[in-house]
A and B are shown apart, each in its own frame.
Chain A
Amino acid sequence: MNETRLLAGRDLAMGAEGIAEHVRRLGRLPAAGKSLIDLLARSGLTGRGGAAYPVGLKWRSVAAESHGSAVIVVNGAEGEPHSKKDRLLMTTRPHLILDGAFLAAAALRARQVILYIGEEHYAARQSMSRALAERTAEERRLVRIVAAPARYVAGNSSAAVHLINAGIATPTTTPPSSHERGVDGAPTLVQNVETLAHIAMIARIGQATGTVLITMAGGVNRPGVLEVKTGTTVGEAVALAGGAPEPAQAVLVGGYFGQWIEATQAWALPVDPEALRAHGLTLGCGVIGVLPASRCAVCEVTGIMRYLANESSAQCGPCFFGLRALADACTRIAQRGTDPNDLLRLQRWASEVRGRGGCHHPDGAVMFLQSALKTFAGEFSRHPAHVRRSA
Chain B
Amino acid sequence: MTKRFELRVDRIKCDGRGLCAEILPERIRLDDWGYPIIAEGPIPDHLLPLAQRVVEDCPVLALGLRRVESRTRSSR
Contacts and interface: CB of A to CB of B under 8 A. Distances in A.
Interface of A: 171-173, 315-319, 321-322, 325, 349, 352-353, 356-358
Interface residues of B, number: 13
Given A317-B15, A317-B16, A352-B37, A358 B10 contact: yes
A172 B13 CA distance: 10
Interface string B12-40: 11111000000000000001111101000
A318 B35 contact: yes
A318 B11 contact: yes
A24 to B, nearest CB: 49
A169 B50 CA distance: 37
Contact of B14 (A172, A317, A325): A317
28 contacts: A171-B12, A173-B10, A173-B11, A173-B12, A173-B13, A315-B12, A316-B11, A316-B35, A317-B11, A317-B14, A317-B15, A317-B31, A317-B33, A318-B33, A318-B35, A321-B33, A321-B35, A322-B31, A325-B32, A325-B33, A349-B32, A352-B32, A353-B31, A356-B31, A356-B35, A356-B37, A357-B11, A358-B10
A350 to B, nearest CB: 12
B62 to A, nearest CB: 9
Contacts of A322: 31, 33
Interface of B: 10-16, 31-35, 37
Contacts of B35: 316-318, 321, 356
Contact of A172 (B12, B15, B31): B12
A354 to B, nearest CB: 11
Contacts of B13: 173
A316 B31 contact: no
A356 B31 CA distance: 11
Given A317-B34, A318-B33, A318-B35, 12 more contacts: A173-B10, A173-B12, A317-B16, A317-B31, A317-B33, A318-B11, A319-B11, A322-B33, A325-B33, A353-B31, A358-B10, A358-B11
A358 B33 contact: no
B32 A356 contact: no
Contact of B12 (A316, A321, A349): A316
List the 10 shortest-distance A-B pairs measured between CB atoms, nearest first.
A321-B33, A317-B35, A358-B12, A316-B11, A358-B11, A315-B12, A317-B16, A173-B12, A173-B10, A318-B35
A357 B11 CA distance: 6
A166 to B, nearest CB: 14
A325 B37 CA distance: 17
Contacts of B11: 173, 315-319, 356-358
A353 B34 CA distance: 12
A358 B37 CA distance: 14
A27 B19 CA distance: 63
